[in-house]
Amino acid sequence: MHSSEYELLDGLALARLLQQGEVTTSELLECAIELAQTRGAELNAICYERYDESRALARDWKPRGAFHGVPFLLKDSGLASRRFPSSIGSRLFNDTTYTVDATLTERFDAAGFLSFARSTVPELCMAPTTEALRNGGPTLNPRNRERSAGGSSGGAAAAVAAGIVPVAHGSDGGGSIRIPAACCGIYGLKPSRGRVPMGPLRGEGWGGMASDGVLSRSVRDTAAAMDAISGYQAGNPYAAPPKDGSYLDALSQPFDRPLRIAVWRAAWSDDIAIDPVSLAAVDHAATLCRDLGHEVIDATPPRIDYEGFVRAHGTILASNIVLATDTRLGVLGRALRDDDLEPAIRDGYELGKTLGAAQYVDSINRLHAIGRALETAFDPGYDLILTPALTRLPERIGELMLVGSLMDYRRKISRYATFLAAINASGQPAATLPLSWTEDNVPVATQLIGRFGREDLVLRLSAQLEAAAPWAGRKTIFA
């Protein structure tokens, strides 16, 4: 198979070719490596390459799972893998190694994904752009080089959009799957809290805000991946409601009634502006939903203490910076140096040192209050809620670098990814879909939010919208 054929197919289409014996795992891997060495290098999207080792695995690969041997990227997020070190985008954490595989790493392998490298991230995965100093420069957006690829799963989104892999690992603690998916014009689903396990080394991330999942070019690939990686692990501190059947099978099932879809066009705070281009994208998505026969209702977001949430989010991040940094310094046996951390993360470390237990507990309680408010927002009988993904077009490179104080940085982000991080607090499933595009090929995404545990509805409507307004085959900088 030539890479020009490979890049046009989604993961399940490639898996079918593998299953039918029309291609081999080695052939697909060579296509992925070729694109990683050209496009991936050009975009600065790939790190910790293990090409020769992966070639050896491909030669002896035993087809398994839904994907049979499709090339794959693990995010450089610290997801434990004995094969791949991690830096978490930081010079301090560079070349961290692991003696065990995370449960999710094992599930990706069982699903038939052949991991051959990691994808780039911002430092400690704490930015909505991927411009880590550790990586020597920004990760570029394959749709528009001047705009951010998003973060923290920016390398994953860029690689998927550029055709290097059809599916890639991502994680989301404040929009980190949905932001880069929105920026790069692909599909990104954040699962419900507890849907995908984080063990065995961790039980939760960032006070329960963080979830792992995938980014993909097709909704069906995400559905099949979620079938493979979902499920409670003994000892998990959180558990999503058990899913009823296969997500992939559900995509082909017609709805037995029109869905009731609420539309939010206003932000949590009156002083947060939403660009007309983002509102137009929401209107377009709402029209598509109506054309599909669903009921669309204009609604008002619940009033929440959004500024209090932003402070709580920053407090939780600062606390995690201290724990991670001090643990790493203990392993290295040295003190913190001036060039170990980027400015906003270093400020977060200093802030975290001043925080007390009461402030952390108060922050967790604020997350739980938002969870109650956002789940109650469905009580009028809504099945899903539609919102803008970002309040404006993807930011330009350099606008969201980790500079200044951590709290000022979080406030700045809160006016950009306004509708995303709150859904991490609530733990609900949410996806961004690139249904609208500007004349110069910049994606303008919308977000679908589901009730807690209802990924099935999010995925099913996503698939309907994908069919109504396909985004596969949109132009990239390589076309």
| C-beta of residue 142 within 8 angstroms of C-beta of residue 39 | yes
Yes or no: say if 305 and 70 are a contact pair by the CB < 8 Å rule. Answer: no
Structural contact between residues 228 and 337, judged by C-beta atoms closer than 8 angstroms: no
β pairing state of 113-119 and 70-75 = parallel
Catalytic residue among 3, 26, 54, 176: 176
Q: Which of 3, 75, 148, 190 is catalytic?
A: 75
Q: Which of 26, 152, 218, 426 is catalytic?
A: 152
CA-based nearest residue to 205, from 130, 151, 124: 124
Active site residue 152: yes
In degrees rounded to 5, what are phi and psi of residue 132?
A: -65, 135
How far, in Å, are 118, 127, 287, 320, 431 from residue 179 at the CA level?
Answer: 19, 10, 23, 21, 10
- Number of Cβ within 10 Å of residue 344's Cβ equals 24
Q: CA-to-CA distance for 122 and 236, rounded, in angstroms?
A: 27
Helices 306-332 + 406-414 axis angle, to 10: 130
Picking from 130, 112, 148, the residue whose alpha carbon sits closest to that of residue 46 is: 130
| 283-286 own/partner pairs: CB under 8 Å, 24+ apart | 284/435, 284/436, 284/446, 284/469, 285/386, 285/433, 285/435, 285/436, 285/446, 285/465, 286/261, 286/386
Kind of pairing between the strands at 211-216 and 167-172: antiparallel
Residues 6+ apart with CB under 8 A from 397: 129, 131, 138, 140, 145, 146, 147, 148
Mention every residue, 6+ apart, whose C-beta is less than 8 A from residue 252: none
**Is 412 a catalytic site residue?**
no
431 near 384, Cβ under 8 Å?
no
Residues in the chain: 479
Q: Reduced to 3 states, what is the DSSP secondary structure of residue 59?
A: helix
Residue with tokens 């993807």: 394
Q: Is 176 a catalytic residue?
A: yes
The 10 Å Cβ neighbour count of residue 298 is: 9
Phi, psi angles (nearest 5°) of residue 87: -115, -15
Q: Which of 397, 380, 375, 377 is nearest to 452 (CA)?
A: 375
Active-site residues, by number, are 75, 152, 176
